[in-house]
Amino acid sequence: MAGKSVASFSQEFVCEKFGEFYRTPSNVIPAPAAIGQREFAFLLFRERAMIRHRSVAKISHLRSLFAESVPSDVYHSCAYYETPEADMDKKGWLGADLVFDIDADHIPTSCDKIHDEWTCSKCGFDGKGVTPETCPACGELKFDAKTWPCERCVGSARDETVKLVDILEKDFGFAGKDVHVFFSGHRGYHVHVEDEAVKQLDAMARKEIVDYVYGLGLSILDAASEKTAAKERGPHVFSLHDYGWNKRLKLGMQKFILNATREDLRSVGIKQNVEAILQNKETIAKRYIEENRWTNVKGVGTETWLKIARHVKDHESAKIDTVVTTDIHRLIRMNGTLHGKTGFKKVEFPIQNLANFDPLREAVAFKEGTVKVSVSSAPEFRIGESMFGPYKNQKVELPTAAAILLVLKGRAEVVKE
């Protein structure tokens, strides 16, 4: 939350709007599967208090609760419990969905240094771009981060989600109907797998899935890179079969080779035989990758292939937040509810729309009216079909959704009239 920087009048205004949203029947909030077995939790707008261990039998109960108490953020457990309202150790864990969180916070982009900044909570050291895990000056773990739901950054989270969904469907064989994709309401996407096959998986099993998605410990890259192993197996150590990660590497390497420029080869660490590779692209792609004959082109040996394969692996793996997936008690934002940092909704959309989904249109919750705000600073941004900003110390009249976003991001205050 923007916290202290939000003047109380602005906060009251946004809280009022959130309340209206939850009292409007046409704002549909879908019930999660097995609603009676979920723990619900929410952060109250006015009190800034987290309410946990709630359970409800019906979605209508939850709706009246939201209309009365006005939460800034609503979550439910990815887990199913016998007694969701009991203390953590007495809930009776029955299973959990397999959930993935892909957030721009974890993906470096070319623009994050322009719109994101962080300040160490302890020593005040600050910087721009992705917030570090620990403070470079004092080692502190807590930061005050100012981020922005930038269209390009949200787009890079979407690209990671496309890779994740492809792995879940093709490599794990999950059916499209069991894989649910959501815009988180802020800077990323959530993927929920609701399938009997995953319900009982423990944290260790989920970690295995995370490692696979990340391509961690991929044996072809680790074993073959050790010189001793290479010596034992001889020069023909490199080979790839046609399923799972092997297939992903193959297709990725083929694409890489066929499109490679001098610069691309150098960037993956290939310094020798650059010209030979560039001149024989087609042959190399065909003979090596299609026909699995990994020798015969002069000067292109196992080490070269490993360099390309490692690069392709980094490119093809999906950059998920690993902690979320392994936590079998995780609370995850509830579909259809508002995000307290933006005023956007978390929204589900069909998996086949992933490439064309426009969160800055589909997730807009407040579609009516305008509000006069005094903006301290804001980058240029889009909501729906309209562009706004950049602003610096100025008063503007904005559509409600844009005004709420700026207030929640601590960049504007509502002007009293």
Binding site for Zn ion (CB under 5 A): 111, 120, 122-123, 125, 135, 137-138, 140, 150, 152-153
Residue 349 CB, nearest distance to Zn ion (Å)?
22
The residue among 149 and 340 lying less far from Zn ion, judged by its C-beta, is 149
The residue among 78 and 383 lying less far from Zn ion, judged by its C-beta, is 383
Integer distance in angstroms from the first to the last C-alpha of the chain? 25
**β-bridge partners, 395:** 374
The residue among 28 and 123 lying less far from Zn ion, judged by its C-beta, is 123
The residue among 39 and 105 lying less far from Zn ion, judged by its C-beta, is 105
What is the bridge-based pairing of β-strands 98-103 and 179-183? Answer: unpaired
Element (H or E) spanning 162, and its range?
helix 151-166
Residue 186 CB, nearest distance to Zn ion (Å)?
13
Residue 378 CB, nearest distance to Zn ion (Å)?
13
Q: How far is CA 137 from CA 118, 129, 141, 146, in A?
A: 13, 16, 11, 19
Q: What angle do helix axes 59-69 and 8-23 make, rounded to 10 degrees?
A: 150
As a three-state string, the secondary structure of 352-386 is HHCCCCCHHHHCCCCCCCEEEEEEEEECCEEECCE
Going by C-alpha positions, the residue among 413, 394, 406 that lies closest to residue 149 is: 406
The residue among 70 and 150 lying less far from Zn ion, judged by its C-beta, is 150
Write the CB contacts of 381 (distance below 8 Å, at least 6 apart in sequence).
148, 149, 150, 151, 387, 388, 389, 402, 405
Residue 111 CB, nearest distance to Zn ion (Å)?
3
Residue 131 CB, nearest distance to Zn ion (Å)?
12
Residue 137 CB, nearest distance to Zn ion (Å)?
4
- Taking the C-alpha atoms of residue 69 and residue 85, their distance in angstroms, rounded to an integer, is 18
The residue among 163 and 187 lying less far from Zn ion, judged by its C-beta, is 187
Write the CB contacts of 339 (distance below 8 Å, at least 6 apart in sequence).
73, 184, 185, 186, 333, 345, 346
Question: Taking a C-beta distance cutoff of 8 angstroms, is the pair 372, 396 a contact?
Answer: yes
Residue 138 CB, nearest distance to Zn ion (Å)?
3
- Taking the C-alpha atoms of residue 278 and residue 260, their distance in angstroms, rounded to an integer, is 7
Question: Taking a C-beta distance cutoff of 8 angstroms, is the pair 22, 65 a contact?
Answer: no
Assigned token pair, 106:
């974890």
The residue among 114 and 201 lying less far from Zn ion, judged by its C-beta, is 114
For the chain, the 3-state helix, strand and coil shares in percent, each to the nearest 5, are 40, 20, 40
Rg (CA), the chain: 25
Question: Taking a C-beta distance cutoff of 8 angstroms, is the pair 339, 184 a contact?
Answer: yes
The residue among 303 and 358 lying less far from Zn ion, judged by its C-beta, is 358
Residue 154 CB, nearest distance to Zn ion (Å)?
8
The residue among 155 and 299 lying less far from Zn ion, judged by its C-beta, is 155
Residue 110 CB, nearest distance to Zn ion (Å)?
8
